[in-house]
Structure 1
Amino acid sequence: MPKTIMQGRPSHQLRSLATLLATTVAVLDSRCIGKPLVPQWSAGFEIGTLFFRRQFIHALALRDIAEGRAYFDSLYSVVVDKPEVDQKPSAAGEPRGDWFIPRGHQSPLTLLYFHGGGYAFYGAVSRHFIAMLAQMLQVPIFAPDYRLTPEHPHPAQLEDGLVAYRHLLGAGADPKHVVVGGDSAGGHLALMLLAKLRAAGLPQPALAIGLSPWTDIGRRGESQFGNDRYDMVQGCQTLQYAAWLKGDTGASDADLSPIHQSYRDAAPVYLQAGGKEILVDMIRDFARSLQLQGARVRLDVWEHMTHEFHAYGDTLVQSRQAIAGIREAMAWATGADAGTLAVGPQTELDGLRFVGNRI
């Protein structure tokens, strides 16, 4: 059952609650006069999108990022109150993070999953999403608690990602049974990790998954600012996150953007995006760049969806379809399903093909 959770400082809770109520009233008023933001959205989806937009805007306007994180965590909703998943922190000697293990699962796979949040947030809502994802995929997930910006600019996050991947392999995981993925900035990290594995002397995983991934930390595509009115994340915020990621390292946008990396001989890449999100144009550009490199890539875009619409789980048709697509892609990439991936109306680019019995 869906549940709203409030926690932390009372002043943060009260402001968040007021924001939620004001957003709800504004959305319902607009719909009463026949002016939904997007006709294909439910009232609940529109309220959720605009509420989280306002929460991010206020969190980033506070005096420091620690307070912003606390404010963002003060009120959030989850669509599954108690997923059938055992969550446990990593053991001594393991990279810092959490395991999300579905009860009674039979999967031989491990999903190394990097959370989103612009590299600056790791909200409680993200942990709930990962738990829900583990339940719906029926696959154990290890989610590293990688270092955040602005306190820790690049390459801290990539270093932490490589440590986590190396640890999984060193603990006995077969790379053919490991999938690497993430959402938003976590998708950026998964894709950057994939591009750096060869230089690190590490084998490729079976598959890389990017959910609404940030593929260029600079300016790219009309949607980055043109879809501001629809999305919960705003174009100007991507530039702030990019500045924090670069810090004073002297790194360029190209240095830190997946779209400027080489993916020749890399694992297959499965990308998902919403057609109303700010990142959709750069995700499309990234998919085409992979195709031009000869990499294996599939891109699915749900026309009316926003950034990270997957968080709605079973309560939204498009989210349910997207997570089912992840499950099918994982089975395909790891040899558990000898068929081909079904192409749906959301498929914009399909470059995943079998060669004999292998990918």
Structure 2
Amino acid sequence: MSRTVFQGRFSHRARSLASILAISVKVLFRRMIGKPLVREWPISFEIGTLFWRAQFNRAFALKDIADGRAYLDSLITRTDMRPAVEIRPAGEGEPRGDWFIPSEQTSDITMLYFHGGGYTFYAGVTREFIALLAHWLGVRIFAPDYRLTPEHPHPAQLDDGLEAYRFLLRQGVDPSRLVVCGDSAGGHLTLMTLSKLRDAALPQPALAIGISPWTDTGLRGASQFGNDHYDLVQGYMTLQFSAWLKGEGQYENADLSPINQSFEGVAPIYIQAGGKEILVDMIREFAQTVQDQGGRIRLDVWEHMIHEFHGYGHEVAESSNALERIREAIAWATESDTREPFPAAAQTEIDQLIV
């Protein structure tokens, strides 16, 4: 079970509490009259989706971005898995960030994890998800606290990502035992970093994983606005995140979008997405683009899920299934002959692209 934690300014905490209570009542009433948002969703999932949509909308509406970040962190949920993971701040001489060390480390794999948040937020719920991931996979994770927009536009995040990768290599991490992963904007940074490793004369990791990755900083696909009704992030947010990432306009979408980069000869890529998230169309196009380039990629899409549905862990079947698929992908990339395709999922509800 998860528990709710309130923190920060009283006005933020009060508004967050009022929001989750109002949304809970609305969802319960709608379900009583047989009108759930998505029939396949558990009640807690629908409440969570609508609540976090409201939180993000409120954070965007605040004039001061620091205030928006504080509001987003005024209510977080914490799973029972959290006590099983030590969160250790990076030491002197290390890039700014945190180590997530599970109490039961079952693998020698090191994961470099780039957090999501549109390059603008590093929310408390994201840190909770990284802890959950470390526990679930039994691997140590280094999550750099890269510079955020709008204060620090591109290429600050890519520079920080490459430096974090170099740091792990200097620490003696074998690239064949290194996995790079990220969610949303962190998935964007994962893919951009992977593409730029050759230019930086750095070895490729064993695997790159994108969880609902942002693959085009412009307009692409009907779902970008067409799935606003279902998703917790909204189409207009992608355009604002893109503007903040570009800064004063030195860069075009083609410069900043993974879909416009080369992935020929890079490490295998495994991507997961939800069929009802705003980014699903651009994610599918990206997977096809990499395939056309001759890259090795696999995409799994859970039909009824939204952006970053993984955070529910054991509480939602699709979430636990997706996390297990990540475990299987890492095992495939680090323990088997990767010349063979990544095994197909047994669950028929997953839309699969095998490359």
What's the TM-score once normalised by structure 1's chain length? 0.96
Q: Secondary structure at the match of 2:98?
A: strand
Partner of residue 222, structure 1: 222
Amino acid at match of 1:69: R
Q: 2: distance between equivalents of 1:113 and 1:32?
A: 41
Partner of residue 192, structure 1: 192
Bigger mean CA deviation after superposition, 69-78 or 288-297: 69-78
Partner of residue 259, structure 1: 259
Deviation track 1:153-186 (CA, whole Å, cap 9, x = no partner) reads: 0000000000000010011011011000100000
In the TM superposition, residue 79 of structure 1 has moved relative to its aligned partner by 3.0
Asked if 1:143 corresponds to 2:143, the answer is: yes
Partner of residue 342, structure 1: 343
Asked if 1:129 corresponds to 2:133, the answer is: no
In the TM superposition, residue 337 of structure 1 has moved relative to its aligned partner by 7.8
Q: How does 1:201-240 map to 2 (within 5 A)?
A: 201-240=201-240
Deviation track 1:318-357 (CA, whole Å, cap 9, x = no partner) reads: 0101010101100110125888643123142111xxxxxx
CA contact (8 A) 1:188 1:213 kept: yes
CA contact (8 A) 1:83 1:135 kept: no
CA contact (8 A) 2:225 2:278 kept: yes
Amino acid at match of 2:294: G
Asked if 1:98 corresponds to 2:102, the answer is: no
In the TM superposition, residue 134 of structure 1 has moved relative to its aligned partner by 0.2
CA contact (8 A) 1:3 1:81 kept: no
Cα root mean square deviation, aligned: 1.2
In the TM superposition, residue 78 of structure 1 has moved relative to its aligned partner by 2.6
Q: Structure 1 segments of 4 or more deviating over 6 A?
A: none
Bigger mean CA deviation after superposition, 280-289 or 337-346: 337-346
Q: 2: distance between equivalents of 1:332 and 1:80?
A: 28
Partner of residue 52, structure 2: 52
Bigger mean CA deviation after superposition, 97-106 or 143-152: 97-106
In the TM superposition, residue 130 of structure 1 has moved relative to its aligned partner by 0.2
CA contact (8 A) 1:79 1:315 kept: no
Q: 2: distance between equivalents of 1:58 and 1:127?
A: 20
Q: Secondary structure at the match of 1:78?
A: strand
% identical aligned pairs:
62
Partner of residue 245, structure 2: 245
Q: Secondary structure at the match of 1:255?
A: helix
Q: 2: distance between equivalents of 1:56 and 1:253?
A: 24
Q: Secondary structure at the match of 2:236?
A: helix
The runs of 5 or more residues in structure 2 that have no matched partner are: none
CA contact (8 A) 1:215 1:283 kept: yes
Q: How does 1:275-294 map to 2 (within 5 A)?
A: 275-294=275-294
The runs of 5 or more residues in structure 1 that have no matched partner are: 352-359
Amino acid at match of 1:111: M
Q: How does 1:8-87 map to 2 (within 5 A)?
A: 8-80=8-80, 82-87=82-87
CA contact (8 A) 2:303 2:351 kept: no
Q: Secondary structure at the match of 2:50?
A: helix
In the TM superposition, residue 81 of structure 1 has moved relative to its aligned partner by 5.7
Partner of residue 314, structure 2: 314
Amino acid at match of 1:11: S
Bigger mean CA deviation after superposition, 337-346 or 313-322: 337-346
CA contact (8 A) 2:344 2:352 kept: no
- How many residues get paired? 351
Q: Secondary structure at the match of 2:77?
A: strand
Q: 1: distance between equivalents of 2:210 and 2:153?
A: 21
What's the TM-score once normalised by structure 2's chain length? 0.97
Amino acid at match of 2:354: D
